[in-house]
């Protein structure tokens, strides 16, 4: 069986970027309006088409005269998630039982590097990150890329994510998908499916 785990909010605890918005002096809504509505720099960054330096250069041009220019990669400097040890224990248990475990995550270069340094991806056989494969959830192609690379049919795969839109997209493909609320909740779901 193939298990696809999201990273943030599942393997690591959800990290709020409030300190980044505070440093910029703008709200989360204003930040994403600049990065997603006024431009497409966020999806370009998340899908690996631009790097952190290009992102912040573009951001500075878009906000010129409104806020002070950003000189450092604030995504790196403000990103400090913690590991969810219950989820990690479940991953290790599934792996020991002979299942294939992969991470399927939407991320950006700065956070990818941080997770790599911390060893957060080391629990998996393989990692499929949006910034590396050029596509992000909830696009169904994200899941198709993983299934094809791993050689599994949707019915033989389990996916868990804390974002319902990603879970629904996986279900539409026929993947067994669980909306993550806790490691114990996912464990109970797997028991009900006779996997554990």
CA dist., res. 41 & res. 26, Å (int): 17
Residue 84: CB atoms within 10 Å = 19
Per-residue pLDDT for 81 more than 80? yes
* Of 86, 93, 103, residue with least CA distance to 2: 103
Determine the average pLDDT of the residues in 174-184. 97
Residue-level pLDDT at 127: 98
Q: Quote the tokens at residue 170.
A: 């996986």
Q: In this predicted model, what pLDDT tens digit does every residue of 8-35 receive, in sequence order?
A: 999 998 777 888 999 999 999 999 999 9
CA dist., res. 67 & res. 82, Å (int): 30
Residue-level pLDDT at 14: 74
Query: Strand 100-105 relative to strand 2-5: parallel, antiparallel, unpaired?
Result: parallel
CA dist., res. 23 & res. 119, Å (int): 27
Residue-level pLDDT at 4: 98
């Amino acid at each position: 069986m193939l298990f696809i785990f999201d990273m943030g909010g599942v393997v690591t605890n959800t990290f709020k970027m409030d300190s980044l918005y505070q440093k910029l002096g703008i709200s989360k809504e204003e930040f994403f309006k600049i990065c997603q509505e006024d431009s497409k720099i966020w999806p370009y960054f998340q899908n690996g088409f631009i790097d952190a330096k290009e992102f912040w250069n573009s951001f500075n041009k878009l906000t010129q005269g409104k806020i002070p220019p950003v000189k450092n990669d604030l995504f790196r400097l403000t990103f400090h998630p913690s590991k969810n040890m219950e989820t990690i224990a479940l991953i290790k248990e599934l792996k020991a039982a002979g299942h294939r475990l992969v991470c399927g995550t939407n991320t950006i270069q700065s956070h990818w590097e941080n997770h790599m340094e911390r060893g957060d991806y080391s629990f998996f056989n393989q990692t499929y990150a949006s910034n590396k494969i050029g596509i992000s959830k909830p696009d169904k192609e994200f899941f198709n890329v993983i299934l094809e690379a791993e050689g599994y049919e949707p019915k033989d795969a389990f996916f868990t994510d804390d974002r319902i839109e990603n879970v629904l997209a996986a279900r539409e493909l026929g993947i067994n998908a669980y909306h993550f609320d806790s490691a114990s909740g996912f464990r109970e779901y797997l028991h009900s499916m006779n996997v554990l």
